[in-house]
């Protein structure tokens, strides 16, 4: 659902990111960094966005921030969206998606 894109309750932090950002699991040079990856269940279309509140400036801070975008581009398939409106348009086309195969079993978990 499009409203889930802005709902913090539908997101999670990665358990491991050392494969992308090294043993310290740190992307250097950003404050408030968010790497947003959303997938459509049916066709796995992807929305990829990067947000941050501030970034070091090589000209003034004499250091360069990690190129987070290129690191993520190396691990996700090409053809992803970077525009939320384009992604929502693809999402709306998948509203009637039904997984292939036959349902064999279901279960529910009730947490209080």
Is position 32 within any domain?
yes
Closest of 90, 31, 41, 17 to residue 61, by C-alpha: 31
- The list of the chain residues with pLDDT below 50 reads none
Is position 9 within any domain?
yes
What confidence score (pLDDT) does residue 4 get? 75
Is position 27 within any domain?
yes
DSSP 3-21: GGGG-GGG----S--HHHH
**What range defines the domain where residue 42 resides?**
2-93
What confidence score (pLDDT) does residue 97 get? 84
What confidence score (pLDDT) does residue 6 get? 78
What confidence score (pLDDT) does residue 63 get? 86
CATH number for 38: 3.90.360.10
CB atoms within 10 A of CB 107: 4
CA–CA gap between residue 52 and residue 50 (Å, rounded): 7
Number of domains in the chain: 1
Is position 75 within any domain?
yes
- Distance from the Cα of residue 48 to its chain's centroid: 5
What confidence score (pLDDT) does residue 33 get? 93
How many angstroms separate the Cα of 40 from the Cα of each of 33, 43, 60, 78? 23, 6, 40, 15
Q: Is the pTM of this model over 0.85?
A: no
């Amino acid at each position: 659902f499009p409203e889930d894109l802005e709902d913090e309750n539908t997101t999670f932090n990665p358990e491991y990111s050392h494969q992308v950002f090294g043993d310290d699991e740190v992307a250097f040079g950003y404050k408030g960094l968010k790497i947003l990856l959303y997938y459509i269940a049916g066709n796995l279309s992807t929305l990829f966005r990067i947000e941050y509140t501030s970034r070091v400036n090589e000209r003034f801070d004499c250091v360069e921030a990690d190129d987070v975008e290129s690191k993520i581009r190396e691990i996700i398939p090409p053809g992803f969206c970077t525009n939320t409106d384009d992604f929502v348009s693809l999402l709306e086309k998948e509203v009637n998606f039904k997984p292939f195969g036959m349902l064999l079993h279901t279960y529910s978990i009730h947490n209080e």
